[in-house]
Amino acid sequence: MPNLKDLKTRIASVKSTRKITSAMKMVAASKLRRAQELAESSRFYSESLSFILSSLVGGSKDSSGLPELLVGRQNPKVALLIINSSDRGLCGGFNSSLFRSAVIWIKEKKSKGIEIKLMPIGKKASAFYKRSDQEILEKFEDLNTNDRQLEVSEQVKNKIIELFESNAIDEVSILYNKFISAIAQEPTYKSLIPLEQSDSKENSDEENTSSFEFEPDKNELLEYLIPRNFLTQVYGSILESSAAEHAARMTSMDNATRNAGDMIDGLTMKYNRTRQAVITKELIEIISGAEAV
Amino acid sequence: MIELKVVSPKKVIFQKEIEMAVLPGTEGDFAAMQDHSPFISSLRPGQMAIMSNNKTEESFFVSGGLVMLKGKVCEVLVDQIESLKDLNKDNYKQTKTYQELEGNETALKTFEQVVNSPSYK
């Protein structure tokens, strides 16, 4: 028979776990709202920027005159993958689905003869790849404030340009969890070098895209725009990933709270049964003792 | 009237209808007004002024960025921006913009000049 006292302590401990998980859920929900707002408000800048970029590039259809930072190199040998994970755990399958997708991607690139180098963002990714044989070029951790997120994006941008210009890498992609809804996230790739043409086709169909006057000339503008574009792309994906992280944590903590509730119910039932059994047993002992006399 | 929309990587800073804005383009200042031809330019560090009736209503320091003029919309993508309303040569060093521009000598120098210049104020 289970010990009554043990059952009682277990119930108490599950109850306090439930308190923690439901508090975490609440915190994640409010952080999610904030992260969504940030992602929303940063979208204007990146949308305008990619519009300007596409109207700059859209004018000249052939990619020969464009800088390598935009169109990439022929026959790439080394690709850089930026993996955008979370700093903390307890967010369900958020990180593991990301890493699973990265493994497949890396294998695919390797089969084409492209070497992969990594740049993990977030503690979880650097911990995951620490013991692997992948080469880590640089890692970024503790992205807990918005200022820090922007600062890291800036550093990533500088690093990308530095590495590309020293011919250490030929391609850059970024992997992050796309925020689809509060209950759905999806590992997503975005190619920075060569630049993925966003599906803003409806913009380029408008006649006025090519009618812009540019000052200074196109190439000088591109020189300014391309690094800016890296920054906003990286920053955007960091924000998106942080919204997705909070959403994932919210749902997984919600599940945990519910599981804890079920567990408490079960344990309470067991506790009551045991208590009743103890009383019955004592009664039987008393009665049979009285009969014996 | 033209709609001026000032945006930083983080957020939309403000958006309003104005008569004219003077912007520090890389190749010289220019004024953004209604029905300006479609135009894209980068910005140098300098002063952005919102004017009406030939008088400055508000002025800002911008550290650089891009402008896109299209029809009735003027979009300004700035790196850093600071309103010059309450700035003088004693307190401008405390602003966030000043601290973020650390190391960018030309921008800081322009910031100082802009803060000290009596014009546009």
* Mean pLDDT, chain B, integer: 85
Residues of B in contact with A221 (CB under 8 A): 40, 42, 66
**Domain B2-116: which topology?**
ATP Synthase; domain 1 (2.60.15)
For tokens 């005159």, name the residue.
A65
Q: What domains, with CATH codes, occur in chain A?
A: 4-23+253-292 (1.10.287.80), 42-251 (3.40.1380.10)
pLDDT bin (cut points 50, 70, 90) of residue A54 is confident
What is the structure's pLDDT at A234? 93
Query: How close A67 gets to chain B, by Cα (Å)?
Result: 18
CB of A235 within 8 Å of any CB in chain B? yes
**CB neighbours of B75 closer than 8 A, spacing ≥ 6?**
A48, B5, B7, B67, B68, B69
Rounded mean pLDDT of chain A?
88
CA-CA distances (angstroms) from residue B63 to A189, A256, B110?
Answer: 32, 48, 9
Hey, are the CB atoms on A48 and B77 less than 8 Å from each other?
yes
Rounded to an integer, the average pLDDT of A183-199 is 83
Q: Which residue has the higher pLDDT, A11 or B38?
A: A11
Question: Cβ distance B58 to B49 under 8 Å?
Answer: yes
The answer on pLDDT for A207 being more than 50 is no
Cβ contact A45–B41 (<8 Å): no
In three-state secondary structure terms, B8 is: coil
pLDDT more than 70, % of chain A: 92
Return the DSSP state at B75.
E
Flag whether pLDDT at A211 surpasses 90: no
Any residues with CB less than 8 A from the CB of A20 and at least 6 apart, and which? none
Query: What's the burial of B53, exposed, middle or buried (CB within 10 Å: 0-12/13-18/19+)?
Result: exposed
pLDDT at B7: 93
pLDDT of amino acid A199: 52
A231 to chain B: which residues are within 8 Å by CB? Answer: 9
Greatest mean pLDDT among A42-51, A117-126, A189-198, A213-222 lies in: A117-126
Q: What share of chain B is helix, strand, coil (3-state, %, to 5)?
A: 15, 50, 35
Ranking A7-21, A22-36, B84-98 by mean pLDDT, the lowest is B84-98
Distance from CA of A110 to the nearest CA of B (A): 35
Q: Buried (b) or exposed (e) across A105-125, using 16+ Cβ within 10 A?
A: bbeebeeeebebbbbbbbbbb
- The residues with which A174 forms a beta bridge, in sequence order, are A82, A190
Residue B107 confidence (pLDDT): 84
Instruction: Give the one of A208, A216, A232 whose C-beta lies nearest to B27's C-beta.
Output: A216
For residue A171, give the nearest of A74, A54, A104 by alpha carbon: A74
Asked if A44's CB is within 8 angstroms of B12's CB, the reply is: yes
Which chain A residues touch B38 with a CB distance below 8 Å? Answer: 208, 211-213
Give the pLDDT band of residue A239 (cuts 50, 70, 90): very high
Instruction: Establish if B68 touches chain A: CB-CB under 8 angstroms.
Output: yes
Average the pLDDT over A264-281 and give the result. 95
Q: How many CB pairs under 8 A join A and B?
A: 72
**Pick from B8, B26, B37: CB nearest A216:** B26
Are B16 and B88 spatial neighbours (Cβ–Cβ below 8 Å)?
no
The beta-carbon neighbor of B68 closest among A42, A48, A211 is A48
Q: Which two tokens stand for residue A57?
A: 């590039």
Least confident stretch, A192-206, A212-226, A229-243, B83-97: A192-206
Contact between B68 and A52 using a beta-carbon 8 Å cutoff: yes
Q: Do B40 and A235 touch (CB under 8 A)?
A: no
Residue that wins the pLDDT comparison between A207 and A234? A234
Q: Span A194-212, mean pLDDT?
A: 59
CB A78 within 8 A of CB A169: yes
- Given a cut of 70, whether residue A280 has pLDDT beyond it is yes
Q: Which of the pair, A211 or B70, is modelled with greater confidence?
A: B70
Query: Between chains, do A213 and B42 touch, taking CB under 8 Å as contact?
Result: no
pLDDT at A148 over 80: yes
Give the per-residue pLDDT at B93.
79
- Record the pTM: 0.85
- Closest Cα to residue A90, out of A157, A137, A159, A23? A23
Q: Give A124 to chain B, closest Cα distance, Å.
A: 25
pLDDT in tens, B48-107: 989 888 888 888 888 889 999 988 899 999 988 888 887 877 788 788 888 878 778 888
| Res. A205: pLDDT tops 50 | no
**Residue A207 to chain B, least CA–CA distance (Å):** 12
